[in-house]
Amino acid sequence: MTLTHSSAGAEHRRRRVSRPGRAGVAFVAAYVVLLIAFGVVPTGYAIYFAFTNAEGGFTGFGNFMTTAQDFRFLPAVGHVALYLVFWLASLVVIVVGLALLLHRLASGGTSKALRFLFYIPGALAGAASVLVWLFMLDPTVSPVSSLLGAMGYDTFGEVIAPGHLPLLFTTIAFWTGAGGWIVVIYGALNNIPRDVMEAARIDGAGAWQTAWRVQIPMLRKWIVYMVILAFAGGAQLFVEPQLLSLASVGVAGRDYSLNQLSYDFAFQMNNINGAAAVSVELLVVSLSVAGLFVARSGFFDAE
């Protein structure tokens, strides 16, 4: 009788342990289905078009050469590269700095209010946020028209001059996306063991020394994660220059970014294969940069 009860208990424990595993598989399976449907299949479709012509014949790197020789390609690469420099630098410096500041204010209600305020702009979709900024940047209707006038800008065209676009796009992207990353980095700061912070305080480290020598090194993987996703999103710059181009009657240019150029190949020049080639190039660059950051940062190393 005792042996029977023992066997039954062991069987019950095995079932109880296996159930979370099955639940995890079910959750992952749902994600895998969506990943295949909206990630793997479209990627394979684009790769197929990138290496074929309109008749389906294999062209090797012909489409890549054709798009690279287009007079708009290199300027678009330069525009996106400059934007990425501004965008990533602002994220790493300002987001991490604000998260550290909020963490210092965590004892009061000020931190909660600021986190909420930072996150509000993220509720707007990309296109909606750009439309808000179109009003903000037009001196004739902007609520900060006096500030724009003091800076010497009296017309919308002056504000969105080509030389201002990388900074303007960075400002729009930061306003929309930085709040979410501030919350993420703030959460990572809360995971730093209290005894580590206490040890730094006992050793006489001030706020700056604690942030630079303790907190930021322990945030390294989170910062790398933020940079990887921000790079992938920034390389696909499209909504901001596209809407600005329409609003400014072409002042910004409809081929400012590589994604715009790909769109132009597909829907203005009826060259789907060239558009696919540009998209595959963006994919390769994003994956290469992600792989480089992961390898150099030890992203998956156990701590």
Is residue 8 domain-shared with residue 80, that is, in the same domain? no
Is residue 84 domain-shared with residue 36, that is, in the same domain? no
Q: For residue range 220-260, what is the model confidence (pLDDT) as tens digits?
A: 989 999 999 999 999 999 988 888 888 776 666 788 999 99
Assess if residue 212 is contained within a domain. yes
Is residue 39 domain-shared with residue 173, that is, in the same domain? no
Is residue 29 domain-shared with residue 152, that is, in the same domain? no
Within 10 angstroms of residue 126's Cβ, the number of other Cβ atoms is: 16
Assess if residue 57 is contained within a domain. no
Assess if residue 1 is contained within a domain. yes
Q: How many domains does the chain have?
A: 2
**Enclosing domain of residue 235:** 67-297
Assess if residue 227 is contained within a domain. yes
CATH number at residue 258: 1.10.3720.10
Query: Mean pLDDT for the chain?
Result: 84
Is residue 162 domain-shared with residue 76, that is, in the same domain? yes
Q: For residue range 153-212, what is the model confidence (pLDDT) as tens digits?
A: 888 888 888 888 999 999 888 888 888 888 889 889 888 888 988 888 888 888 888 888
pTM score of the predicted model: 0.84
